[in-house]
Amino acid sequence: MKFLITGGAGFIGSAVIRHIIAHTSDTVINVDKLSYAGNLESLTLVESSSRYHFEQVDICDRKELDRLFAFYQPDIVMHLAAESHVDRSIDGPADFIQTNIIGTYNLLEASRAYWNGLDLERKEQFRFHHISTDEVYGDLENPSDLFIESTSYKPSSPYSASKASSDHLVRAWQRTYNLPTLVTNCSNNYGPYHFPEKLIPHIILNALQGKPLPIYGNGQQIRDWLYVEDHARALYLVATQSKAGETYNIGGHNEKTNLDVVHMLCDLLEELVPENQYSKQHAGGGGFRSLISFVQDRPGHDLRYAIDASKIEKELGWRPKETFNSGIRKTVSWYLENEAWWSRVLDGSYSLTRLGSGV
């Protein structure tokens, strides 16, 4: 099959592409405009494959989308392109409205036009898979509550509101035009190649450089953590084995407070970082935990997210392979072993790859 994957140079998108190229015989067309979070260096393991193609295209450009559909004739669209950082959405929501809502609309319309021209067999096989977030559901008040696929939407940030809007568009195109769509809502992802503005890589890299480890509020916000490679497996299963119109929640069964996560990272770094590589003198002799700094909470910060992923387990047989303990150890080890990747992100030199990329 041919997969057209938007946002394939991002964190989750690149994991999906690496999974498909490594574990299937399918072809991937990576469509990414290469914004600040798009990094082609996350795809060096697959870039030489004859089954991998890259197109630097903005999903808001309808003419270019039509060209891609006509040329590549994809069987499945996996839509991951999105502005995704909550803090950035608070500071400047316009990009989130443009990419997450207008971009999704353009992609839906390009997909619909292409799908309408397919023969009956290919029409039935085609899928538009929209990858979303558990943040669209808002805050869980009862400690025993879990998000299920029918939980009402109650987004709290410009980011989650824009993703909720895109979810509604996808379902409307399925209901009104019969476009065969799928929606998945995932919990917080973590793992290799994660852009350093997000909590886990930010804490790891700050600790290695002896910088403060900032935690919003009192650090008691609870998130369900999903290892990105487990998520990639789940997304491929949904895209290839689901009935049109289905929704699946994908979670890691790993509820942790932000403070607990930071404590685990500090303790792992104490264990794994050799003295002769990164001197713990940065931490003033008090260990990495001494670098923790509590900062003013961000506006509208949800307290708890937690996913019930029983539907995807029951219907598709998926469960995460990684516990949080195993996944976070793999993650820390990856950052310790791949300084060349993250140092180029931190100093901005990865952007030269972005700016120099073309079709």
| 3-state SS track over 104-169 | HHHHHHHHHHHHHCCCHHHHHHCEEEEEEEHHHHCCCCCCCCCECCCCCCCCCCHHHHHHHHHHHH
| 3-state SS track over the chain | CEEEEECCCCHHHHHHHHHHHHHCCCEEEEECCCCCCCCHHHHCCCCCCCCEEEECCCCCCHHHHHHHHHHHCCCEEEECCCCCCHHHHHHCCHHHHHHHHHHHHHHHHHHHHHHHCCCHHHHHHCEEEEEEEHHHHCCCCCCCCCECCCCCCCCCCHHHHHHHHHHHHHHHHHHHHCCCEEEEEECEEECCCCCCCCHHHHHHHHHHCCCCEEEECCCCCEEEEEEHHHHHHHHHHHHHHCCCCCEEEECCCCEEEHHHHHHHHHHHHHHHCCCCCCCHHHHCCCCHHHHEEEECCCCCCCCECCECCHHHHHHHCCCCCCCHHHHHHHHHHHHHHCHHHHHHHHCCCHHHHHHCCCC
Q: By CB neighbour count within 10 A (0-12 exposed, 13-18 middle, 19+ buried), where does 353 fall? A: middle
Residue 302 annotated as catalytic? no
Residue 52 annotated as catalytic? no
Residues facing 102 on adjacent strands = none
**Pairing, β 222-227 against β 255-257:** antiparallel
Active-site residue (options: 41, 64, 135, 255): 135
Active-site residue (options: 159, 227, 236, 335): 159
Active-site residue (options: 55, 83, 134, 229): 134
Residue 58 annotated as catalytic? no
Instruction: Supply the residues annotated as catalytic.
Output: 134-135, 159
